[in-house]
């Protein structure tokens, strides 16, 4: 069992917090080492902080017939799909799969639940999902969300601290996030770990986003 940290700990005391992952193995594995200590509440009850909750609604966009393919493989096997998606990324639906509009509809219940929380929430999910959630929370129109390929990166934590003053800080510009967004970039650390793993004979592969 994970032990909680007291207020005297240099890293700060443990607090009530929540953790969501998608149902996909890679997000569950990413979140597996996050501590989830049991906290004693003032009323005598217990709270398992950061207890992982698997949420299928935040699974990656389903690519249908193109599922499991790299962008280059899709371009060869489904050249029309590649062209049509470039023309209308938010509206294009993969053959037998989903579009960004389907994705937005799928995550709407999650956003409603998220807005009811008072505790911090960590979401370990996928690029398409995180683009939509990030756009919603930062006031970017949904048509711009699919194009946020440089703004939402793998191995980066986006900390969004919302309060009563947040609305006045919204820019609506995906290239200039509001002041209530803090970026924690772990890409160099991950690349270093991947290089070390490759050097020791392991795989350095991690999936590309959509």
Annotated domain spans of the chain: 18-61+98-199
Gap between the Cα atoms of 209 and 128, Å rounded: 7
Residue 198 and residue 204 in contact, taking contact as beta carbons nearer than 8 Å: yes
Q: Which of 134, 129, 141 is nearest to 104 (CA)?
A: 129
**Res. 149: pLDDT tops 80:** no
Q: Is the pLDDT assigned to residue 11 strictly greater than 90?
A: no
CATH of domain 18-61+98-199: 3.40.50.1240
pLDDT of residue 161: 93
Residue 147 has pLDDT above 60, yes or no: yes
Query: Does the pLDDT value for residue 151 go beyond 60?
Result: yes
pTM to 2 decimals? 0.82
The pair of structure tokens assigned to 110 is 């999650």
pLDDT in tens, 108-125: 999 999 999 999 999 999
Percent of the chain with pLDDT over 70: 89
Confidence of residue 9 (pLDDT cuts 50, 70, 90): low
Backbone angles phi, psi at 46, to 5 degrees: -115, 150
């Amino acid at each position: 069992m994970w032990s909680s940290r007291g207020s005297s700990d240099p890293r700060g005391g443990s607090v009530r917090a929540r953790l969501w992952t998608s149902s996909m193995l890679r997000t569950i594995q990413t979140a597996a080492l996050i501590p989830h200590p049991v906290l004693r509440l003032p009323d005598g009850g217990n709270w398992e902080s950061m207890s992982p909750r698997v949420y299928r609604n935040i699974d990656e966009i389903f690519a249908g017939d193109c599922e499991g393919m790299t962008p280059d493989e899709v371009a060869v096997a489904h050249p029309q799909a590649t062209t049509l998606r470039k023309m209308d990324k938010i509206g294009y639906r993969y053959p037998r799969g989903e579009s960004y509009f389907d994705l937005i509809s799928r995550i709407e219940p999650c956003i409603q639940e998220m807005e009811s929380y008072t505790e911090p929430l960590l979401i370990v999910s996928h690029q398409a999902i995180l683009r939509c959630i990030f756009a919603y929370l930062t006031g970017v129109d949904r048509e711009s969300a699919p194009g946020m390929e440089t703004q939402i990166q793998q191995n980066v934590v986006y900390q969004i601290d919302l309060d009563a003053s947040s609305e006045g800080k919204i820019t609506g510009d995906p290239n200039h996030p509001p002041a209530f967004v803090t970026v924690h970039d772990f890409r160099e650390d991950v690349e270093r770990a991947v290089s070390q793993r490759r050097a020791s004979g392991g795989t350095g592969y991690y999936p590309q986003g959509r």
